[in-house]
Chains A and B, each alone.
Chain A
């Protein structure tokens, strides 16, 4: 039963909130700053062994034999694991879509360069790597397919022969009378787009310490898990263990952005532990392993898109055809990135009809994984670039064409063609804000003048929805079952009035422990330092999911407020008894339980909690003597997806408008970002500093995606970008300092009106930068349709344009 919780700050039991809404310093920071946070590689156990993994050098090969005899003799080696062990001891990993996965080690064949084939547990990582060099694998190389289109050809090598094809999924989703819209359009614009592989790359790679208890048949894994609960369920299924015998403990981790993964590493170390008599086994993924074999790559996409337009710029239909190259298996949950665009398919615009022709194909490359944004970043680029093309064709200013298509501010909650509901928004206001901040008309004049002087400036004006608080139903179209994502918290008050909060997730950088502390400090009238948030493992925590899909700020606020409310009810009843008054006359306010209308008749929460713990004789019969409550929050009103994937999926729709000024050096193809303005609206800002941090971090990743980051495979399926010398993350030199302005249109559906904001600017920045570059080069007849816009690529486009 859902519990009534404060919808706005005004409804909180405090006369003057001191913390919520303020940029309070984070409670997590002192431990992080002093290097004392226990990231997984800082953790050791007695007798712990270290794992190294032998990986396939072939993109596609049958494995005929694996000879580990020499490796086993190396002093310091305790156990070696091969595909034969794994085949005996594990089930294939569950995947979405189902049936496109294998085991943690390649068994009959390897399907991508970097796929684990064998593993060693030894006394040090150094020795384990020495041992890998002694393992002899007899491979029979098979023809590989690396190109998405070729993978669909009838004669293509097959990754999973049993499926008879490499098409993991092929479906068309149609919403409204799309054909009618296109037939009746004044103008139809069609274009193609190519987005290359890019991925999370948190500074900390995945790490795990697994221990298999041979006596009681249980498994304990500590690791940098983003979602410990789902990892635990999958481990039980794969390793054939009863669910209550699997315990996962998530350690604070150095970022994730969806890209921590860890399924194979956890299973491998678990089995090595089993094989070494139950000794703990640690595996720390190194950076090269991460880039080639980890949860590191996403969004390998070929797009064709069309807009149906009226002459006044109104968009009546939007068609997208996507060929999504997911790589060798669906194990990384990368397919959900192809589904999430439905949550905001038509962006900020009231486009009534749309169509999504989706093909997900397997190739001999690393399986795709989630990455911040989960699919919309390329989709938003396509939509926003098409809007700019439409603006140019029709002679309408890019700001104006957007304004003409916005969902009006008075029509929320608004259900878009693809079925999701946007909670609230005012896109006109965000646009107006960014145009004002940037002095837009003067910028355009500056741009024109610069062109006269042979300088090629470009303006990218882009707006997007940033869906927040995901639900499983958003991914129903790719075979993900379920509706409803729980997040639970337990709030307890001790004898001294200190609060302990138990949650099911560890920190990964978004500052949720601080947000929890802010909310509860205001609710119970205590100081931030009076609150301690403690993560629990999968067997002790209330139902949970953790961070992901821009949900946790909202979800955990809902959870702690729900627990606070349940606790408040108990405290009120107890205080009423102690104050000898009816409960309706007792209220919690500013940390005190007080009798309305009787000044001085009040008790502190510590006193009430103390009474509960020490004087059960004084308690009303319907109150348990425990100053603690647990509440599990889920998003209200979620609906299962229909056959066209329509569902109320993501609960909130934050929105942002970015304006970027770039300069392109047309001789070298280098792009410089000169200025960057952001107006964003994510509803109530629980901690504005957190929001700005998420925004700026998203900008950095967005700039990386637009200009620098690209995984390159050659035609032999070899990864050419195998280190940080070639996969280029942006530094302080490449990331613009942005000017930010906040607008607040609260959500009517969430606790305190906040919207999800964790993925933030990643939805918007790639489109903004790319549209700016296109704007700069349009007069030269250049069409920029490939991401990243590397200097070589732009130089080639400019050269070609000069020729024709």
Chain B
């Protein structure tokens, strides 16, 4: 019945081609055929945010997106943050502020925060909460994640951001 589709997408600045069943979710394509296992699956119905990636610069839930919907698009996953083994300032901020415990939800948070800080380099508390509100963390109780976001924003705004800001 269903014909497989050939799709093309750019992921972390690398071009990829894949042949997928239309029913293959974007997160399964990323984690499976593309081997980018940093994005995690927590619920498969669009609530927990663990699967969040950037699609054409927007944070989306890749568990409720079909791979075919992403055809022709640009995707950034957690593997695309940071450079040459160095942590991105957002990752560095999480490290310093103890913004993670088990780390399973963390890549999803990082991508949403990346979008937030691109759009709003000096975010208000409301904006921070609005972004974080789309994610569930079961370990940290969020206090240190909020601290990490503020620290990351400051880092990216500073002249020392060196190419990241």
Contacts and interface: CB of A to CB of B under 8 A. Distances in A.
Interface of A: 23, 25-26, 28-30, 32-37, 39, 41-42, 126, 201-205, 253-255, 257, 284, 286-287, 507-511, 689-690, 692-693, 695-701, 723-725, 729, 731-733, 735, 737-738
22 contacts: A25-B96, A25-B98, A33-B78, A33-B95, A33-B103, A36-B38, A42-B31, A126-B21, A254-B102, A255-B139, A511-B101, A693-B98, A693-B101, A693-B140, A696-B144, A697-B138, A697-B139, A724-B48, A725-B45, A725-B47, A732-B146, A738-B143
Contact of B138 (A25, A30, A729): A729
B20 to A, nearest CB: 11
A732 B132 contact: yes
Nearest to A37: B103
Contacts of B106: 32-33
A203 B104 contact: yes
B34 interface: no
B55 interface: no
B110 A33 contact: yes
Nearest to B45: A723
Contacts of A729: 48, 136, 138
Contacts of A509: 101-103, 139
A423 B125 CA distance: 43
Contacts of B139: 203, 255, 509, 693, 697
Contacts of A723: 43, 45, 47
Contacts of A700: 137-138, 140-142
A724 B94 contact: no
A284 B63 CA distance: 15
A47 B95 CA distance: 37
Contacts of B50: 203
B78 A35 contact: yes
A652 to B, nearest CB: 21
Nearest to B63: A287
B100 interface: yes
Contacts of B135: 731-732
A737 B40 CA distance: 27
Given A29-B100, A33-B94, A510-B101, A201 B143 contact: no
Bin the interface of chain B by size: 35 or more
Nearest to A372: B138
Nearest to A25: B95
Contacts of A732: 129, 132-133, 135, 142, 145-146
A152 B121 CA distance: 62
Interface string B64-93: 000000000000011101100001000100
Q: Which 4 A-B pairs have the closest CB atoms?
A: A35-B38, A254-B104, A32-B103, A509-B102
A117 to B, nearest CB: 22
B105 interface: yes
A264 B124 CA distance: 47
Contacts of B39: 35
A737 B143 contact: yes
Contacts of B4: none
Given A508-B102, A511-B101, A35 B138 contact: no
Contacts of A698: 141
B42 interface: yes
B44 interface: yes
B23 interface: yes
A241 to B, nearest CB: 31
Given A33-B78, A203-B102, A737-B142, 6 more contacts: A35-B37, A35-B77, A254-B104, A287-B42, A723-B45, A731-B132
A34 B142 contact: no
Interface string B105-140: 111001000000000000000000100111111111
